[in-house]
Structure 1
Amino acid sequence: MTHFRYGPVELHVVGFPGDAPSPQVLGALGDLLDTGLVRLLDFILVTKSEDGAVDVVEIEGDGAPGLNGAVPLAAGLVGAEDVESLAESVAPGASAAIVALELAYQRELAEQLGASGGEVLRSERIPAPIVNAVLDLAEQEEGD
């Protein structure tokens, strides 16, 4: 039988005004990690000064403050070239968190797909604000 050490991985690049994510955002990510549904593989903070200078901090060892002590399991998974490319999308005076999350809850499904010869042909994610806006609109139209 096929055995995977990791499930599928999602890479998120999330921008923030200022030089860091808020403690509330980090706390919400820490709470999600505590559920065991996802595992933190890599976590990088990118800050771009007003003059365009980029500062990159890879979180390792002790973990990121505010993540309930979570330590990236595969720090360095996101390569330097990828970080450089992703950092281009950060506006001057802003920051971004580059986060690689393993979808641990999908590991067994991935193993079974692989063992049966199946493969994922396409996967898409619809951002929460879009889902909520579409459903709110649909509910509003039903009420009319």
Structure 2
Amino acid sequence: MTEYAYGPVEILLLGFDGNQPRAALREALADLVVEGSIRLLDLLLVSVDETGGISSAELEDGADGYGLGGLVLAASGVAADEDILEMAAHLAPGTSAALAVIEHTWARQLASALAESGGYVIHTDRIPAPVVNAALAELAD
């Protein structure tokens, strides 16, 4: 069987108030890594100042200062400058976000089996959790 070293990868831009993620977000991310649901390939903190200037900091460059010490990246540097600029375009001036590149480890076996059988992904969409929850709550009413 085809054995992939990595499953599907997703780049997430996680906005938050202030200049660093709160403890709940940090803990949730760490828990997902520890339980093996995701592999954290890269993580940066991206900020846009009031004049539109973009800055970013790699996890290694100050993880402890951001409350993210202890997280180990599997492929630091995989988020390219183009990725950072593209994602920063979604941020309003004076805001910050975490840019997380994650591997969906749960899907690695499925991707391997799909490739082995000659199949391939034709299309994928991700529906954000707030949208799913609102739609299903509306259906339940």
1:3 is aligned with what amino acid?
E
Q: Is the contact made by 1:2 and 1:111 (CA closer than 8 Å) also made in structure 2?
A: yes
Instruction: Give, in angstroms, the shift of residue 57 of structure 1.
Output: 0.4
Q: How does 1:1-144 map to 2 (within 5 A)?
A: 1-60=1-60, 65-67=66-68, 69-140=70-141
1:81 is aligned with what amino acid?
E
Distance 1:132 1:67 in 2: 29
Structure 1 stretch displaced more, 109-118 or 76-85 = 76-85
- State the secondary structure of the residue aligned to 1:118: coil
Distance 2:25 2:100 in 1: 13
Structure 1 regions of 5+ residues with no counterpart? Answer: none
Structure 1 residues 16, 61: closer, same or farther in 2, change over 3 A? closer
1:97 is aligned with what amino acid?
A
After TM superposition, where is structure 1 displaced by more than 6 Å over at least 4 residues in a row? none
Structure 2 regions of 5+ residues with no counterpart? Answer: none
Tell me the alpha carbon deviations over residues 38-75 of structure 1, each in whole angstroms, 9 at most, x when there is no partner.
11001011012222222210113885654572211111
Q: Is the contact made by 1:47 and 1:94 (CA closer than 8 Å) also made in structure 2?
A: yes
Distance 1:66 1:32 in 2: 16
Higher relative contact order (CA 8 A, sep 6+): 2
What root-mean-square deviation, in Å, do the aligned CA atoms of Structure 1 and Structure 2 show? 1.8
Q: Is the contact made by 1:48 and 1:94 (CA closer than 8 Å) also made in structure 2?
A: yes
Identity value in percent? 42
Q: How many residues align?
A: 140
2:48 is aligned with what amino acid?
K
- State the secondary structure of the residue aligned to 1:41: strand
Relative to the length of structure 1, the TM-score reads 0.88
- State the secondary structure of the residue aligned to 2:109: helix
Distance 2:33 2:85 in 1: 26
